[in-house]
Structures are given as C-alpha cells and as structure tokens.
Structure 1
Amino acid sequence: MANEQNLIKNEDLTPEQRRKNASKAGKASAKKRQQNKTFKEIINKFLDGRVSDERLKQQMIEFGFADKEVSNKSCAVFALWREAIQGNTKAFELLRDTIGEKPQEKITVNGKINNPFSGLSTEELRKILNE
C-alpha cells in the first residue's frame, strides 16, 4: 500500500523505470478517456455515419441531396422536416430552434412593487410575526 514511507521520487528512478511508469500512465489515461466518451460524441458518431436504408437514401437524392451528402444526420433532419410540414408543431419548433430562430422567452416587468414592510428592521418584522 502506498504511503509516504514507500513512495519513490521520480528523479530517483532509472530511465527504464520512468519509461515503464509513463507507459502505464498513458495506457490508463487512454482507457479512462475511452470510458468518458460523452453522449454527444456517441450520437455524433451515429449521425455522421452512412445511411444503410437504400430507399431512404434514394428519397434524399430525389429531393436534391448529393450522394455524399446523405448521412444519418441529414436523414434525421429530412424526417423532422417531413413531420413539420405534415403539421407536427413539435417537429417545427425543434427545426426552428436548431437554426437559431427560437423566440425569446424573457418577460420584462416594469413598475414598482409596493412593499409595506420594506422600511422595517429584522427585529420589527419578528415582532409583527409573533403578534
């Protein structure tokens, strides 16, 4: 078990031992990076992949996409677009929001709020509360 008494400084190791430790550290780091792939990276890998459904691929080409432009990502957008033009408002909102045209959801309230307790101290407020 590692503790202060049995730790060896890196400078006290031989070059061969340093290389061995660096190799172990590199392999452990690579393994950890692989485990930590984000959900986004996984989805992007699928989206960037080629389409295996020839019927869908042909529809995309007929719609005007070049063969090399047909990816899972473009097919997903195409499917979303088809849903939107058939009246699916959620699909429309997702397309609109994706291209950056989402309306602001900010509400500005102007005016003065009348707070009858604003001038009172904490002690005065406690007295009122206990009455």
Structure 2
Amino acid sequence: MPNEENLIPNSERTPEERREIAQKGGVASGAARRRKRSLREAADLYLSLPVADKRQVNKLLRRYVPAEDIDNQMAMIAGLHAAATDGDARAAAVLVKLLGEETPAEKLTPPPADDGFVEALQQAAQVWKEGGDEPE
C-alpha cells in the first residue's frame, strides 16, 4: 500500500483523537445519506411526471396502458420491455429483477448432480484427521 508510513494506528491515538475522527466520519456519512435521499426523491418526482412526448403517449395508449397511468416511469418500463423482446438480455434481467423473480440464469442452471463425490471426500478427510492412513 502506498504511503504506509503516513498511517497512524488507532492504538497509538488518544481516545479524544479517535472520538474526533469518528465524529467527522459520522458527519460525512450523514451528508452522504442526505445527498442520496435527495437524489432518490428527485428521481421519484421526475419519474412520476407525465410524459411530454405525444408520440410516446400514443405508443403507450396503443399498448393498452390507461391514460391515467402514463408517466415517465411507465415509459421507462415500456422501453425496457421493448428492448427485452428485441433480445436485450440486460433489459430482460432488469425486468425480471424488478418483478422480484429469480433470474433466467438461475432457472436454466440445473442443480449439481449428487454423485457422492463430495461426501466421499469429507469422509476421507475425517479419517485422515483422526490419524488414519493418508488418503490415496
């Protein structure tokens, strides 16, 4: 690690110094949480605004989305759906994750076959630990 000589271990600091450093960290953490919350609120507000592009509104209406449900969030979901149906695996993964279901890779991957190999290894290791002959 570069500049290791500049680091002072906590064991060499006084309790007052450690308290002061911890207090500064707490203040910085609170500021970061407030920034993240503000950004999340701004994103939520923007996504809840109505769609300004009339062509996009008409496209959503043709997809049978009720007019009162058309907002930027719905347009974003419709865009993800369109990308996923066009073959974009990332868009499909995002949609599946939004729905809270398991990812397609988890569905397609079969569980490993239990052929007893792992159990045999565990038994051999146990015998060897107990002082038996070294496994071959």
TM-score, with length taken from structure 2: 0.50
Rg larger in structure: 1
Please give the alpha-carbon distance, in whole angstroms, between the structure 1 residues aligned to 2:37 and 2:96.
29
Letter matched to residue 56 of structure 2: L
The verdict on how the C-alpha distance between 1:100 and 1:37 changes in structure 2, with shifts beyond 3 A counting, is closer
Task: Count matched residues.
Answer: 93
The verdict on how the C-alpha distance between 1:60 and 1:36 changes in structure 2, with shifts beyond 3 A counting, is closer
RMSD: 3.4
Identity of aligned residues (%): 18
Partner residue, 2:96: 96
Partner residue, 2:79: 79
Structure 1: which 5+ residue stretches go unaligned? 1-31, 121-131
Partner residue, 1:62: 62
The verdict on how the C-alpha distance between 1:82 and 1:37 changes in structure 2, with shifts beyond 3 A counting, is same
Partner residue, 1:11: none
Superposition map of 1:14-25 within 5 A: none
User: Counting helix residues as a fraction of each chain, which structure ranks higher?
Assistant: 2
Q: After the TM superposition, which parts of structure 1 deviate over 3 Å for at least 4 consecutive aligned residues?
A: 34-38, 110-115
Please give the alpha-carbon distance, in whole angstroms, between the structure 2 residues aligned to 1:113 and 1:39.
54
Deviation (angstroms), 1:50 = 0.8
Partner residue, 2:43: 43
TM-score, with length taken from structure 1: 0.52
Please give the alpha-carbon distance, in whole angstroms, between the structure 2 residues aligned to 1:97 and 1:39.
22
